Amino acid sequence: MKGLITTIKNIYKIEDFRNRILTTLGLVLIYRLGAHVVIPGVDPGQLENLQAQADGGILGLLNMFSGGAFANASVFALGIMPYISASIVIQLLGMAVPYFQRLQREGESGRTKITQITRYLTVAITLGQAPGYVANLHSQLPASAFSEMTGIFWLSAIVILVAGTMFVMWLGEKITDKGVGNGISLLIMIGIISKLPFALMAEFMARFEGQGGGLIVFLVEMVMLFMVFVATIALVQATRRIPVQYAKRIVGNKQYGGVRQYIPLKINAAGVTPIIFAQALMFIPMMIGGFNTDATSSFAAAFADITGFWYNFTYGLMVVIFTYFYTAITVNPTQMAEDMKKNGGFIPGIKPGKKTVEFLDGVMSKITLPGSIFLALVAILPAFAMIAGINNQFAYFYGGTSLLILVGVVLDTLQQIESHLLMRHYDGLMKSGRIKGKAGTSVSI
């Protein structure tokens, strides 16, 4: 406790860092207030049906990501997911379209252009989703919930929803630029955390009133949640050294303090980004169906059932695919081989150059497989929790996107805070070792 107070005092002494934290808190507060601002023309007292619709299934996840804005018919109802969908499209185009590949190689000017294109695409995606959301409002709420249901209302609601998503995107970019942490990831995390107290209380009440089991079952669930939480932290931070018997261990021709150099490789080099992008794509069938589970086709309905086989099989498979995809982006065997050669390093028994690149690529592929499978299992754990009888809202925290985002973003933010402290010659957040955050895993969108 004394160490925590000392750390807070040290943070307060650093004026620039103090301002960054206050800016972050202020922008997050604006985001949370906006999640409760209802679309003009909608009666906030008649949202029971919409809130019931967002209690379970894949719409419950979407509501969680938006911090409850979806169920509140808020101006931020579509949240940040259109921006994430746009980012997926742009990054995929960067792998296949020469124009985007050229932009990626142009440095800062290219990144600025890509950011601008992503924003335009976000507007286009939101324009496609906003009418579906308004149509869902019309089907879920009684006619008395609307002051009027004319073309003017439709147009104004769509414009407000698009503006809300763009404003949330702007908030995220400002947090990244002027605050602490990755803004987009932080806003998603804040939305998830805002639902945790309600989910915990709902499960507690269910054990004493509805489903039974009492305090003992509730405590067992909390222990299981803690174990999943610890396993998730291990997954996010896991680093593996290449085994001697399989990969010879990467060494250099110099020694420092009697310890040979080596290159540690991440079991999950892509971090939590694959699971965020996979989840964003799983929302697409429901969005195409206008967010209305009653009006969707059998195909979309199958992917709206979060406990169904096809939903979880497809979701898990996409997590594995995206893990390999982002590992290929973040880990460049050719660059690693060149850096080793420049520094006089080598792999015993492996020729420098092309052979080293092939060796590193093969090793990375092999150690990514168990990491991607474990990530996929964690992603679909909430479905098993729901099948076991745990309340839907609380089950979302048993692994899945929500827990991985919480762990990844918290570790990343704490690592940045620690870096600011150490850079100014203050003690870090932990006495026993450094926090592994963004330096060790990718949690950015």
pLDDT surpassing 60 at residue 246: no
Q: How far apart are CA 261 and CA 36, in angstroms?
A: 54
pLDDT digits (tens, 9 = 90+) for 85-111: 888 888 888 877 888 888 888 888 888
What is residue 430's predicted lDDT score, i.e. its pLDDT?
Answer: 54
Q: What is the pLDDT of residues 265-289, one digit of tens each?
A: 667 777 777 877 888 788 777 776 6
* pLDDT tens digits, 331-356: 778 877 887 777 777 777 777 888 88
pLDDT at 378: 82
**HEC readout, the chain:** CHHHHHHHHHHHHCHHHHHHHHHHHHHHHHHHHHCCCECCCECHHHCHHHHHHCCCHHHHHHHHHCCCCCCCCECCCCCCHHHHHHHHHHHHHHHHCHHHHHHHHCCHHHHHHHHHHHHHHHHHHHHHHHHHHHHHHHHHCCHHHECCCCHHHHHHHHHHHHHHHHHHHHHHHHHHHHCCCCHHHHHHHHHHHHHHHHHHHHHHHHHHHHCCCHHHHHHHHHHHHHHHHHHHHHHHHCEECCCHHHHCCCEECCEECCEECCCCEECCCCCCHHHHHHHHHHCHHHHHCCCCCCCCCHHHHHHHCCCCHHHHHHHHHHHHHHHHHHHHHHCCHHHHHHHHHHCCEEECCECCCHHHHHHHHHHHHHHHHHHHHHHHHHHHHHHHHHHCCCCHHHHCCCCHHHHHHHHHHHHHHHHHHHHHHHHCCCCCCCCCCCCCCCCCCCCCC
pLDDT value at residue 264: 59
CA atoms within 13 A on the CB side of 129: 30
Ramachandran area for residue 324 (φ above 0: left; ψ -120 to 50: alpha; else beta)? alpha
Mean model confidence pLDDT for the chain:
78
What is the average pLDDT across 291-316?
Answer: 73
According to the model, what pLDDT value does residue 252 have?
Answer: 40
Looking at the DSSP bridge assignments, the partners of residue 252 are: 345
pLDDT in tens, 150-183: 888 899 999 999 999 999 999 999 998 888 888 8
Q: Which pLDDT does position 425 carry in this prediction?
A: 61
Q: Which residues of 409-441 are buried (b: 16+ CB within 10 A; e: fewer)?
A: bbbbbbbbbbbbbeeeebebbeeeeebbbbebb
Q: CA 333, CA 357: separation in Å to the nearest integer?
A: 5
Reference 365, options 184, 274, 242; nearest CA is 242
Q: What domains appear along the chain, each with residue ranges and CATH number? A: 15-423 (1.10.3370.10)
Q: What token pair was written down for 12?
A: 């307060």
Taking 90 as the threshold, does the pLDDT of residue 326 lie above it? no
Arithmetic mean of pLDDT, 2-23: 76
Q: Residues of the chain with pLDDT > 70: what percent?
A: 80
- Please tell me the distance from the alpha carbon of residue 46 to that of residue 142, in angstroms, as a whole number: 8
Average pLDDT, integer, range 396-413: 76
Q: Please report which confidence band the pLDDT of residue 439 belongs to, taking 50, 70 and 90 as the band edges.
A: very low
Question: What's the pLDDT at 166?
Answer: 94
- pLDDT value at position 19? 87
Which residue, chain included where needed, has tokens 């590992």? 327
The whole-model pTM stands at 0.76
Residue 343 makes CB contacts below 8 A (sequence gap 6+) with 252
What is the arithmetic mean of pLDDT over 213-237?
78
Calpha distance 62→67 (Å, rounded): 9
pLDDT interval class at 74 (50, 70, 90) = very high
Neighbours of 335 (CB within 10 A): 11
pLDDT of residue 244: 35
| Residue 2: pLDDT band with limits 50, 70, 90 | low
Q: Which residue has the higher pLDDT, 54 or 164?
A: 164
The rounded distance, in Å, linking the Cα atoms of 441 and 271 is: 5
Checking if the pLDDT of 402 tops 80, the result is: no
The pLDDT assigned to 174 comes to: 92
Distance between CA 221 and CA 226 in Å, rounded? 9
